[in-house]
Chains A and B, each alone.
Chain A
């Protein structure tokens, strides 16, 4: 498929998802199971992008303390948990990665 067409469809789908309940404006109530599932969507979708980048940075398993992405990711997770602050998490996580890349 042509990449422009692909992106047009991806954009249309994204808009329809964002418009869904706003457009229905109370006329459609989502089923109970669907509303329950929505809470887990950001967690599941973003974790699917996080773990491979930390554990398989070059496309291969690297479960070791010599893997700077894994260590920096764990440090960032700790910062996110304690501070709940997006900016601080990114700043300390990037700093940790650069420090570990230089040191390891």
Chain B
């Protein structure tokens, strides 16, 4: 072990409870975005005609901010159930990316851990835990860190959504709080636009979403998402073949 090249070990032993606590702390910055988002989801769900009990249950059943936000719009537009499920699948397909990135690090764990950590896997928990999961310092306890991130986000998300359901009717429409959902998506997407292929995927999805907006049942979401993915793959192949890149 070379003390100059290897990262120093944590100052305190990496016991499960300490790693869990570190995970809770690491996810705190993400809560600043998740709390208003959860409030808005709760308010929009009630406004869309979803019963308060179901609105709260969705937060644990689906447990995905962007998908829950979209569900309120789809239910408000009386979209058929099958298309709601399909739209949720397309929007949440990105979690397969996180699942693939973490699979190797969690491979040694028993089934109950894999199920628990998969259930808690969100954009926020993944972002907060990524560096710790990639670190080879005390790898035997790093899943507790991920659990801390996931649990911190999950419990806060439940409380925010419940508060949103209860407060829903009292939030004035002029506050335009639903815009915080769109802003969260902007904050996630913009840093991902690192090359021509990803920018092309964004522009394609954007143009298709507004061009196909008039389609029934909000099918523009599925159409735009699939078109954007296809454009990204094709552009990347083109860039690799021609050697051009931004």
Q: Give the B-binding residues of A (Cβ under 8 A).
A: 1-11, 13-15, 17-26, 30, 33, 35-56, 59, 61, 69, 72-73, 76-77, 80-81, 84-87, 89-90, 93-94, 97-98, 101
Contact = CB atoms under 8 A, between A and B. Distances in A.
Contact of B183 (A25, A59, A93): A93
B201 A40 contact: yes
B32 A87 contact: yes
Give the interface residue-count category, chain B: 35 or more
15 contacts: A11-B58, A18-B98, A18-B121, A19-B119, A39-B232, A42-B192, A43-B192, A43-B198, A43-B232, A44-B202, A45-B205, A46-B185, A48-B208, A49-B209, A86-B29
A14 B88 contact: yes
B206 A50 contact: yes
Nearest to B69: A49
A75 to B, nearest CB: 10
B220 to A, nearest CB: 7
B179 A47 contact: no
A41 B64 CA distance: 15
A41 B93 CA distance: 7
Looking at chain A's contact residues, the main secondary structure is: helix
Q: Which 9 A-B pairs have the closest CB atoms?
A: A44-B228, A1-B81, A40-B232, A11-B61, A48-B224, A80-B190, A6-B81, A89-B187, A19-B118
Given A26-B103, A49-B70, A43 B92 contact: no
A49 B179 CA distance: 11
Contacts of B119: 15, 18-19
Interface in B124-180: 174-176, 179-180
A46 B67 CA distance: 10
Given A3-B81, A97-B179, A23 B224 contact: no
Nearest to B175: A98
B97 A39 contact: yes
A10 B114 contact: no
Contacts of A22: 99, 102-103, 106, 114, 117-118, 121
A28 to B, nearest CB: 9
A30 to B, nearest CB: 6
A97 B232 CA distance: 31
Given A1-B80, A48-B209, A50-B206, A90 B36 contact: yes
Interface in B69-106: 69-71, 75, 80-82, 84-85, 88-100, 102-104, 106
B92 A14 contact: yes
B123 to A, nearest CB: 8
B206 A86 contact: no
B238 interface: no
A45 B117 contact: no
Interface string B194-211: 000110011011111110
Contacts of B14: none
B234 to A, nearest CB: 10
Interface centre among A9, A38, A76 (most CB of B within 10 A): A38
A11 to B, nearest CB: 4
Nearest to B90: A45
Given A10-B84, A48-B221, A40 B190 contact: no
Interface centre among B66, B176, B187 (most CB of A within 10 A): B187
